[in-house]
Homo-oligomer: A and B are copies of this chain.
């Protein structure tokens, strides 16, 4: 009696639904549809796992997989003994895709080029330490670049690299490869924090971008860690007219 009894049932279901994917996917999207359509408002208790298992004629594990994913996605909240409930939507979260500059520029249909401006190695000043969130005076590589789209200044990059975290950067001139791509190739899988503000450019930025010092600019500060160790801080300054950050939000997964 260890023969798979569920097999006939499974095939029956496949025949009935036919349309698409796996069962747990179907359960997931069914529930998701109920939530997104408003049919199940926030606070609504969705059926228990064993109920859904009965409805879909499957094992509880299959239902559990669907519900667990919905919980991770933040669509439902699960409470022991109480059940699973539709969440109130998170205020507004959005996934911001910050691709590399080359892709960005080429997506605008322009020809990408960058020039390295200054490159300087020194011990971290007070300002550098503040940028990197460091307390010690580690060796630092400071580099500035100008990124162009079809020969028009597109973005000014002002970066410090923590050489204690990335010693190999000391041997790189960043003439043929920009610091960003180089770092991704040499220090993959980092964590990052972005700060996005609107300001007037500092003098260096305005000069290199060839804009008036009063031109509003979008400034993206990115601080990157590797295993809680600061790796690099970079400030991208875009003339406000050049850049749009676009972020999409969907209740994910599906």
Contacts and interface: CB of A to CB of B under 8 A. Distances in A.
Given A89-B189, A94-B96, A198 B218 contact: yes
Contacts of A187: 38
B92 A197 contact: no
A176 interface: no
Contact of A244 (B37, B72, B196, B218): B196
Interface string A179-209: 0000010011111111111111000000000
Contacts of A247: 96, 193-194, 196
A94 B194 contact: yes
A125 interface: no
A91 interface: yes
Number of copies: 2
Contacts of A41: 188
Given A189-B35, A189-B38, A216-B240, A99 B94 contact: no
Interface in A55-80: 61, 72, 75
Nearest to A42: B188
Contacts of A200: 216
The CB with the most chain B CB atoms within 10 A, among A190, A216, A240, is that of A216
A193 B96 contact: no
A61 to B, nearest CB: 8
A251 B189 contact: yes
A238 to B, nearest CB: 8
Contacts of A184: 88-89, 91
A91 B95 contact: no
A246 interface: yes
